[in-house]
Copies of this chain bind each other. A is one copy, B any other.
Amino acid sequence: MARVSAADRRRQLVEAAFRVIGAEGFAAATTRRICAEAGAPVAAFHYCFASKEELFVELTEVTVAALRDAQADGVHIVGGIGASLRETLRQWWATVEAAPEREVVLTGLTHHAMHEPSLAGVAQRQYDAYHRTAAATLESLAAACGVTWSLPVEQLARMLVVVTDGVTIAYLVDRDSAAARGVLDAFAAQLAPLASPS
């Protein structure tokens, strides 16, 4: 068996937990199952993490960070603000359809974090990151198209997160990607008139 540094093992275990939750749900994410998925002995788990909760905290942060990084260069400018917003949403949606497990993991983590005192604040920071990412996207969109939003960016960001969240959950349940795309385009068309030339 190849020797692996503790830091690498942590990464392996986090990725294994991601895969297990994405494919089999949060309840299946036992230490044994995660270790088996990572190809590591059970004892390696508590050599790398003080507890299972610690793994969950790191999983949340890593997953949210990956989501934010993916969105960092996710602004697509094509024509006016309306078309750009629609295209940006479509590109984002392509990443969701390419990796739906990510969202399964995030919803499971959110539910879990709401009730575990040791994870209090994790869910909050998770959604804070969502809102900041959405706000940044909206602002660079507006800047690139030479417009300003007629509503506070914070509120628009929240609306964006609401829509993306809702579309994702509906998709996870019925896998109707045509309906998801339709809803996304419709919302883009709705939001566009809220931008006025600056």
* Extra inter-chain contacts (17) besides given A124-B174, A155-B183, CB under 8 Å: A24-B115, A25-B116, A26-B27, A26-B111, A27-B27, A27-B115, A104-B111, A107-B107, A111-B111, A151-B186, A155-B179, A159-B183, A159-B186, A162-B166, A163-B166, A165-B169, A190-B191
- CB nearest neighbor in B for A22: B115
**A24 CA to B155 CA in the complex, in Å?**
30
Q: How far is the CB of A151 from chain B (nearest CB, A)?
A: 7
Contact A111 B107 (CB under 8 A): yes
- A182 contact from B108, B155, B166, B169, Cβ within 8 A: B155
Q: A111-B104, A162-B166 are in contact. Are A124 and B173 (CB under 8 A)?
A: yes
Query: Is the CB of A99 closer than 8 A to any CB of chain B?
Result: no
Contact A173 B25 (CB under 8 A): no
The number of residues on chain A lying at the interface, defined by a beta carbon within 8 Å of a beta carbon of chain B, is 41
Cβ–Cβ < 8 Å partners of A174 in chain B: 124, 127
Query: Is the CB of A123 closer than 8 A to any CB of chain B?
Result: yes
A117-133: which have CB < 8 Å to B?
123-124, 126-127
**A36 CA to B159 CA in the complex, in Å?**
41
Query: Is the CB of A112 closer than 8 A to any CB of chain B?
Result: yes
Cβ–Cβ < 8 Å partners of A24 in chain B: 115
Cβ–Cβ < 8 Å partners of A126 in chain B: 173
Contact A173 B110 (CB under 8 A): yes
Query: Is the CB of A172 closer than 8 A to any CB of chain B?
Result: yes
Cβ–Cβ < 8 Å partners of A124 in chain B: 173-174
Query: Is the CB of A158 closer than 8 A to any CB of chain B?
Result: yes
A175-194: which have CB < 8 Å to B?
179, 182-183, 186-187, 190-191
Q: A26-B111, A104-B114, A111-B111 are in contact. Are A179 and B166 (CB under 8 A)?
A: no
Q: How far is the CB of A127 from chain B (nearest CB, A)?
A: 5
